[in-house]
């Protein structure tokens, strides 16, 4: 990807060094444009040492430092695929919002008609919360290709504590890597409902039963559909990976963290009617215990007097299948122990005839370490998957990263929707 990195006059400007290095390490071409204010904090040469393709300052427009054309700001606007301003000062924000073009960076922005622009503000809390700043942000949000990343809260350079800090690099990367390159036509936008992670079954105030699912799989799926411009409702277990919250920076996502299966089922029931695709990737608890409001004492545990009573929890996927509409597609996921054969996946499909069933083995860290692949299963980045349609195994134990799995699911969805759309 060709990235134009704009750096403005904020005390956080030094963090642009790390951001630039991260982008280049990830294989992107980076051209850096510094404002006059940025040069009070950092140096052009450092970006060159870090591998930037070119580095320009605010005065380099219409000079001998040309780049693929006679007018530098026009050439840069044509060259880049995304513009990232990091950090964004209150002053530059105001100039962009009111269409000023008094230096190379603002002139380039005014020359970019629909190039995605990612803005990472960093300033004092009072400046960030000032009415004028809020108005400037509102003005830019009217343009669909401008995207603001929220600031972090903490100790600021001035000694104050509050909002206004530049977010961590991992958060920065989530938005610029996965932001859609363009907006879909309204008729092309689909509503995707995804469950992921583990729910819990509380026993008493300090104990519950759960499993090792982290929600990584559903996170990748949500990110893939968001990247393509679709709307996503993501329902995740309360203890799912924190990276799920990074997705809040996308415009068309709603994230619901749920404790119990009952809570997740109730929330899904409120939105499932309008979805185009339901992906049941969560490892939900199958049982609900009769909750005890007081902690069970050790004496009862030793005497085996717990007498835990339980009932089966609602089957969220099955509930959806009972009311699904003709245009709605469904994907279920089934986790089995590695000593169980594929016939267990087939049996599950017979009970829940989803449009696609994806089976995998539930490796975890509690078994024999010599038998468990370190890179597969709960909390890991890959697994072996079985793809089942109409009761037939289409792909047998194919090894995929969870990101690759998300790509496979997206391509399957495109094919299925194309078939459906051709019949209406």
Tens-digit pLDDT string for the chain (424 aa):
999 999 999 999 999 999 999 999 999 999 999 999 999 999 999 999 999 999 999 988 877 556 777 889 999 999 999 999 999 999 999 999 999 999 999 999 999 888 999 999 999 999 999 999 999 999 998 888 899 999 999 988 888 899 999 999 888 888 888 776 556 777 789 999 999 999 999 999 999 999 989 999 999 999 999 989 899 999 999 999 999 999 998 889 999 999 999 999 999 999 999 999 999 999 999 989 988 888 888 776 665 666 778 899 999 999 999 999 999 999 999 988 766 668 888 999 999 999 999 998 876 555 555 555 544 556 677 788 999 999 888 888 889 999 999 999 999 999 988 776 666 5
Task: Tell me if 172 sits within 8 A of 12, measured CB to CB.
Answer: no
Q: What does the block give as tokens for 357?
A: 């069933």
List the beta bridge partners of residue 84.
5, 118
Give the DSSP letter of residue 367: S
Kindly tell me the burial class for residue 131, based on how many C-beta atoms sit within 10 Å of its own C-beta (0-12, 13-18, 19 or more). exposed
| pTM for this prediction | 0.84
In this prediction, residue 270 carries a pLDDT of 94
**Mapping DSSP to helix (H, G, I), strand (E, B) and coil, where does residue 59 land?**
coil
Compute the distance between CA of residue 367 and CA of residue 107 in angstroms, rounded to an integer.
60
Query: What would the pLDDT profile of 181-228 be if each residue is shown by its tens digit?
Result: 556 777 789 999 999 999 999 999 999 999 989 999 999 999 999 989
Compute the distance between CA of residue 212 and CA of residue 197 in angstroms, rounded to an integer.
8
Compute the distance between CA of residue 3 and CA of residue 30 in angstroms, rounded to an integer.
5
From the list 20, 158, 182, 275, the catalytic residue is 158
Closest CA to 231 of 192, 199, 198: 192
Q: For this structure, is 20 an active site residue? A: no
Which domains are delineated in the chain? Answer: 2-178 (3.40.50.1950), 186-421 (3.40.50.10300)
Compute the distance between CA of residue 405 and CA of residue 279 in angstroms, rounded to an integer.
13
Task: Tell me if 190 sits within 8 A of 418, measured CB to CB.
Answer: no
Which DSSP string do the residues of 314-351 spell out, in sequence order?
P-HHHHHHHH--TT-EEEEEEEE-TTS-THHHHHHHHH
């Amino acid at each position: 990807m060709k990235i134009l990195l704009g750096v403005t006059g904020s005390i956080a400007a030094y963090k642009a060094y790390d951001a630039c290095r991260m982008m280049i390490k990830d294989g992107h071409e980076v051209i850096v444009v510094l404002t006059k204010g940025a040069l009070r904090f950092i140096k052009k040469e450092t970006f060159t040492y870090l591998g930037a393709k070119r580095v320009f300052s605010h005065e380099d427009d219409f000079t001998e430092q040309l780049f693929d054309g006679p007018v530098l700001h026009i050439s840069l606007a044509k060259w880049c695929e995304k513009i990232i301003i990091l950090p964004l000062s209150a002053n530059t924000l105001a100039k962009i919002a009111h269409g000023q073009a008094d230096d190379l960076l603002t002139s380039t922005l005014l020359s970019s008609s629909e190039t995605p622009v990612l803005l990472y503000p960093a300033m004092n809390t009072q400046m960030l919360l000032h009415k004028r700043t809020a108005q400037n942000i509102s003005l830019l949000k009217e343009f669909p290709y401008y995207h603001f990343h929220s600031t972090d809260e903490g100790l600021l350079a001035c000694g104050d504590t509050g909002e206004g800090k530049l977010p961590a690099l991992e958060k920065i990367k989530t938005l610029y890597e996965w932001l859609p390159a363009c907006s879909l036509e309204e008729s092309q936008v689909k509503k995707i409902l995804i469950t992921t992670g583990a729910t819990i079954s509380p026993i008493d105030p300090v104990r519950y039963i759960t499993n090792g699912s982290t929600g990584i799989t559903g996170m990748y799926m949500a990110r893939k559909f968001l990247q393509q411009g679709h709307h996503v409702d993501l329902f995740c277990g309360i203890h799912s990976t924190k990276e799920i919250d990074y997705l809040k920076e996308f415009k068309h996502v709603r994230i619901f963290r749920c404790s119990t299966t009952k809570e997740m089922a109730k929330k899904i029931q409120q939105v499932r009617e309008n979805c185009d695709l339901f992906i049941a990737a969560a490892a939900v608890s199958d049982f609900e215990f009769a909750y005890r409001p007081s902690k069970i004492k050790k004496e009862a545990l030793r005497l085996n007097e717990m007498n835990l009573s339980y009932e089966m929890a609602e089957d969220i996927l099955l509930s959806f299948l009972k009311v699904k509409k003709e245009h709605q597609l469904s994907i279920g996921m089934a986790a089995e122990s590695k000593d169980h054969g594929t016939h267990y996946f087939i049996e599950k499909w017979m009970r829940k005839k989803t449009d696609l069933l994806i089976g995998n083995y539930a490796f975890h860290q509690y078994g024999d370490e010599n038998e468990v692949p370190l890179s597969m299963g709960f909390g890991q980045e890959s697994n072996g998957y079985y793809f089942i349609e109409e009761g037939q195994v289409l792909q047998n134990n194919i090894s995929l990263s969870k990101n690759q799995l998300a790509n496979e699911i997206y391509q399957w969805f495109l094919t299925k929707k194309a078939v459906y759309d051709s019949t209406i």
